[in-house]
Structure 1
Amino acid sequence: MGILYLNVMYTYVIVYDAPVFGSHHFSLSFWNSSPQSKAPVKKPNWVIDLHKRQPLNEMETVILSINCASAAKIAYKKLFTQLETSSRNFSISYLISSLTWWLLATILSSSSSLYYSLIQLFYVLSSFPIFSWVHIASRRILKNTWINFRVRSCQILYWPIFLQENDMTSISCVEHAEKAALQRHSTWSAMAVDLVLGNLIGLGLLFNTGSVCSWIFNFAKEFTNDILRSGCLWLMGVPAGFKLNTELAGVLGMVSLNVIQIWSTLWFFMASFIFYLIRAIAIMGITFGATVSAAFVIDAITFATLHITALHWAITLVYSHQIQALAALWRLFRGRKLNPLRQRLDSYGYTVKQHVVGSLLFTPLLLLLPTTSVFYIFFTITSTTINSICMLIEFTISIIHATPYAEIMMWLFRRKRFPSGVWFEIEHYGKNVLNSSNDDFEDRSNTASNSRREEHNIPEKKPFLMVSNLRSNFLSIGQILLPHYTTMFSGISASSLTTSARGVLSGKRMPSKLGLDLPPSRPWMHMPLRQYWILCHDSIISSAGNG
């Protein structure tokens, strides 16, 4: 417990609990301004004036001093008692604790070294000319998988470095030590949760591979027959009572049906690989986590629906050029011309021949627009549905990466480690309100005040005493998660969504990815296997000693 004395015109006594690493500290970052205790019936004038003023920078210095004083004391005591702890090394509890941490460090270091050797093996094989073309082709086909595999590889390579306490300035301040601890624990906690989820999903797929295969076959058959083929035949007739151009609808429908049939035939011969594909997804989930297996699912869905993407791209090309031609011909009739440099419409005098040719082109293009539009709408809806599924999986991957699991666990067990602003709980306020235990303090304050009055010829005033407790507000779980999720969605804005929606009407393709932020990629690290094992082992032992 600490006591802070402020002597100006009044005597303020502020009582606070000394900040301790792993327990609590103070912070001026205000997240919630609502008070957590009942205010007194009548607030003092100085409290009312304090709320009207802007916060002073000196308050930050006071809070920093409070957080640093306890940290320095604990660090000094830890250094001073190093010789005394040698006598307890032979106690049974200390030996059991040391042995437990040594076994845990050995197991984790060995498993991390196994991952490290596998990752380095893949990296070395990809550099050989024999496997270079396989590496390049796989990076283009399995783009999402490679990105998440790179993220997972960097986490495995760098987690022992992040776990070590390299910031010496954090020792002198409890608040800095807490922030440094959260940063150290964020990498390994995210990796651990991802691996746990990957093992759960992977084991479920391994034990139910047959049922998953049969479900995929049935879904693919129903999707191809009931949606794609039936939809194309429906558009070739009279969809929803609209009379379309029979010849153009027949051409577009027959091309679509032929592409669907060719792709279905190819997948019939590749159906035997579905069993091994599911096993590969399960093994990737068990080995590298749920994010890598989910990214592989996105790439598999993208490759499996390649014929829909091709048909959508083709009909989008036809529809967009038709819209652009109609817009240009409409400007011709109005005597306008698009100026792409200035992004405006300028006046332009067209000849009679140009008007005649424009009229001859405008009429058939306008009459054929409904037929093109219904095929464009059909394949846009189908492609958007598939892209939405991939975006949902991508969103799940980003949520797994962005969620601060270490902070959530610490918040559940000790909310005091997440302060959000300070407030004062007033205990006493008035004239000469002193308990018997504060007699010494009254004598000291009276002696000091009398000496100051004699020096400066200040008239004697009756002392006022203010005794208050320094308290902290605490962050809620939503306030902890909000900054991480805001960073994840920083690349998405309302303007980009509006632009995409307008682009669909003009014949532009919808984006197939959300563009969410992932953990940053880091340079590749080469280190001997034995040195990496020692690095992992020492980082765990050192973190256990600091904790």
Structure 2
Amino acid sequence: MRMLYLNVMFTYHGHCQVIVYDTPVFGSHHFSLSFWNASPQTKAPLQKPNWVNDLHKRQPLIEMETVILSINCAASAEIAYKKLSTQLETSSRKSSVTYLISTLAWWLLATLLSSLSSLYYSLLQLIYVLSSFPIFSWGRIASKRLLKNTWINFRVRSCQILYWPTLLQENDTRSISCVEDAEKASLQRHSTWSAMAVDLVLGNLVGLGLLFNTGSVCSWLFHFAKEFTNDILRSGCVWLMGVPAGFKLNTELAGVLGMVSLNVIQIWSTLWIFMASFIFYLIRAVAVLGITFGATVSAAFVIDVITFATLHVTALHWAITLVYSHQIQALAALWRLFRGRKMNPLRQRLDSYGYTVKQHVVGSLLFTPLLLLLPTTSVFYIFFTITSTTINSVCMLIEFAISIVHATPYAEIMIWLVRRQRFPCGVWFEIEHYKKNILSSSNDSPEKNPFRMVSNLRSNFLSIGQILLPHYTTMFSGISASSLTTSARGVLSGKRMPSKLGLDLPPPRPWMHMPLRQYWILCHGSIISSSEKGSNHDLSLEKELPKASQSSSS
């Protein structure tokens, strides 16, 4: 326990406030005034109340941020001594059986993880070298275009595998002097390997489930594809060629659009019949990707497969969107012709314009058939827009799940479940003792009537929602209400809906090259150093706990 003496009123002598607090220890607790990832306020209110202005005019007593920073850095001078004493105690404990067993367990774990990471490292380097050859360059270019999402997530996973031992090592000199900075740096180091471990566990669960149930998954996919093609696409096109919902459409135009759609659907279905034998191997590929590189890579591969399998729906939607949008633009231009207005594209406004009689006659002849054919085109456009939007929604849902797996701070959640003191949010004072001479008169000077107050400095703790909110806010930073409104308006005017949400993913790092033996030594050393830091931290906590209990009892 430490005591912090603050002279509350600098003009009066004898007034003393004693604040008792626990010394911040790395891995135990520290103090903080606000959220860790809180962004500064950029917009100030237009008009402040008078009492706020009066409050700013007063002379500030003590800056609380400086006090909290001093408290978090109070034990920085003792770091060298504690390390020396911990090393001496560790050397004396090396002969114990518990220490030898724990050291052997950590050495075996480091050897296993280093060998597994080296295997991944050699596989990634082999893929990178093979893709650089001119013979395989065409395959790499084609796969990047067809499997765009898979390549992006594979790049993220490769960078995590290559850089996790480097990120696990402590290389921040500022975190040594401040407990709060040390906690942030520690969570930053553990975020990469924890996300990779959870992703691999999920990938193994999904992959093993697919491997053991490949036959049932294949039959379900065949049944679903048959129902989707026959009951939705073909039946929908035939229904639109008749009298859908009682609307009388143009028979000739509806017949042309329906026959073109049915022919495209039939051609694509025939091609998929010949490719049905590859479905079994495709499911095995998804399972192997999940087991090897995690659930995010296999989910991205599923998005690319869905996009390729529904290419005929995308093509039909693109064609009917092209017809519908041009028809809407022509009707809008002809409507401006009847009003005597003309669009000025440079200034983005409508200007008055005098049209001739011939132009009005031609406009009338074009406006009438376009307006009468608009319901028929709109019905087909609405049908394929709903179908394409449903498929894109499934892909967006999978993309959302991938971003959730990447953005969730698993290390922070695990530490929060064990020790919430490592996530402070604001401070408060618990008054233990307050003494003032109440028998003295009010006319006595403050020097003759001193008061003394003793209080404990306490911390509030973040909830699990407050820990997750900054990470998910960063993930959804690319999505705004204006973009959603623009997309909704674009659908009405004949523009295509975006097929991706544009969520934030971990940034890719440059490719790393080093010898395999050096990479194994790097992985092994980072795990061993982390275990030594953990044992030293346990010793420091054991030393701090008796001191805290003695001071609290006194």
TM-score by length of 1: 0.90
Map residues 92-131 of structure 1 onto 2, 5 A cutoff. Answer: 92-131=97-136
1:328 and 2:320 aligned:
no
Asked if 2 retains the 8 angstrom alpha-carbon contact of 1:72 and 1:173, the reply is no
CA distance in 2, matches of 1:24, 1:432: 37
Output one character per residue of 1:139-190: Cα deviation in whole Å (capped at 9) or x when no partner: 0000000000000000001000110000122111111110010000000000
1:62 aligned residue: 67
Pairing 1:271–2:276 present: yes
Which amino acid in structure 2 is aligned with residue 318 of structure 1?
A: V
Following TM superposition, by how much is the alpha carbon of 1:50 offset from its aligned partner in structure 2, in angstroms? 9.9
CA–CA distance in structure 2, aligned partners of residues 463 and 327 of structure 1: 84
Report the 3-state secondary structure (helix = DSSP H, G, I; strand = E; otherwise coil) of the residue aligned with 1:129: coil
Change (3 A) 1:105 1:334: same
8 Å contact from structure 1 (residues 20, 71) kept in 2: no
Q: Does 1:521 align with 2:508?
A: yes
C-alpha distance in 2 between matches for 1:56 and 1:120: 60
- For residues 69 and 29 of structure 2, the distance between their equivalents in structure 1, rounded to whole angstroms, comes to 14
Q: CA deviation at 1:69?
A: 1.6
| 1:458-512: CA deviation from partner (whole Å, max 9, x where unpaired) | 9842321010000001101111001000000000000000000000000000000
Match of 1:479 in 2: 466
Q: Is the 8 A contact 1:421 1:473 kept in 2?
A: yes
Determine which of 20, 34, 55 is the counterpart of 1:15: 20
Do the aligned partners of residues 187 and 89 (structure 1) sit closer, same or farther apart at CA in structure 2, a change above 3 Å counting? same
| Structure 2 counterpart SS, 1:15 | strand
| Aligned counterpart, 2:541 | none
Q: Distance in 1 between matches of 2:200 and 2:89?
A: 41
Q: Please list the CA deviations of residues 6-56 of structure 1 after superposition, one character each: whole Å capped at 9, or x if unmatched.
A: 23442101111111111110011169xxxxxxxxxxxxxxxxx99997987
- Secondary structure at the aligned position of 2:427 is classed as strand
In the other structure, the counterpart of 2:2 is: 2
Q: Cα–Cα, structure 1 residues 190 and 55, in superposed 2: closer, same or farther, change >3 Å?
A: farther
2:395 maps to what in 1? 390
The one-letter code matched in structure 2 to 1:517 is D
- Structure 1 unmatched runs, 5+: 32-48, 434-457
Q: Which residue of structure 2 lines up, in the alignment, with residue 446 of structure 1?
A: none
Structure 1 pair 30/290, CA: closer, same or farther in 2 (3 Å)?
Answer: closer
Q: 1:392 to 1:56 in 2, by over 3 A?
A: farther
Once structures 1 and 2 are overlaid, which stretch shifts more, 1-10 or 533-542? 1-10
Tell me, what secondary structure is at the counterpart of 1:161? helix
How far apart in 1 are the matches of 2:132 and 2:231? 46
CA contact (8 A) 1:125 1:131 kept: yes
- What aligned pairs does 1:381-460 form with structure 2 within 5 A after superposition? 381-431=386-436, 460=447
Aligned to 1:447: none
The residue aligned with 2:550 is: none
Residue 35 (structure 1) aligns with: none
Q: Distance in 1 between matches of 2:23 and 2:461?
A: 17
Q: Secondary structure at the match of 2:270?
A: helix
Q: Does 1:305 align with 2:305?
A: no
Residue 248 of structure 1: aligned partner? 253
Rounded Cα–Cα distance in structure 2 between residues aligned with 1:234 and 1:176 = 65
Q: In the alignment, residue 113 of structure 1 is paired with which amino acid?
A: S
472, 482, 489: which one aligns with 2:476: 489
Q: Output the CA distance in 1 between the equivalents of 2:502 and 2:253.
A: 37
Q: Following the alignment from structure 1 to structure 2, what is the Cα–Cα distance between the partners of residues 51 and 412? A: 40
Q: Per-residue deviation at 1:65?
A: 1.4
Secondary structure (helix, strand or coil) at the match of 2:32 reads coil
Query: Cα deviations across residues 169-219 of structure 1 (Å, max 9, x unaligned)?
Result: 211111111001000000000000000000000000000000000000000
CA displacement, residues 234-267 of structure 1 (integer Å, 9 cap, x when unaligned):
0000000000000000000000000000000000
Instruction: Evaluate the alpha carbon distance shift between residue 512 and residue 460 of structure 1 in structure 2; reply closer, same or farther with a 3 A threshold.
Output: closer
User: What residue is the counterpart of 1:295 in the other structure?
Assistant: 300
Cα offset for 1:84?
Answer: 4.7
Shift of 1:60: 1.4
TM-score, L = length of structure 2: 0.89
Q: Does 1:210 align with 2:197?
A: no
| Aligned position for 1:314 | 319
Q: Which residue of 2 aligns with 1:227?
A: 232
RMSD (Å), alpha carbons? 1.8
Instruction: Judge which range, 97-106 or 65-74, deviates more.
Output: 65-74
Q: C-alpha distance in 2, partners of 1:459/1:13?
A: 18
1:274-300 per-position Cα deviation (integer Å, ceiling 9, x unaligned): 000000000000000000000000000
Instruction: Deviation per CA, 1:307-345: give whole Å up to 9, x if none.
Output: 000000000000000000000000001000000110000
Deviation at 1:83, TM superposition (A): 3.8
1:428–1:466 Cα contact (<8 Å) kept: yes
AA partner of residue 262 (structure 2): L
Are 1:192 and 2:192 counterparts?
A: no
CA distance in 1 between counterparts of 2:93 and 2:435 reads 51
Partners of 1:190 and 1:405 within 8 A in 2? yes
CA distance in 1, matches of 2:55, 2:253: 77
Q: 2:522 matched to which residue of 1?
A: 535
Q: Report the counterpart of residue 142 of structure 2 in structure 1.
A: 137
Letter aligned with residue 333 of structure 2: A
Tell me the residue number matched to 1:146.
Answer: 151
Query: Matches of 2:60 and 2:223 in 1, distance apart?
Result: 66
Structure 2 unaligned residues grouped into runs of 5+: 37-53, 439-444, 535-554
Is the Cα contact below 8 Å between 1:336 and 1:347 reproduced in 2? yes
- TM-fit CA distance, 1:543: 1.1
Q: Percent identity among equivalent residues?
A: 88
Residue identity opposite 2:82 in structure 1: K
1:107 deviates by 0.5
Deviation digits for residues 515-547 of structure 1 (CA, Å, limit 9, x no counterpart): 000000111111111110000010111111112
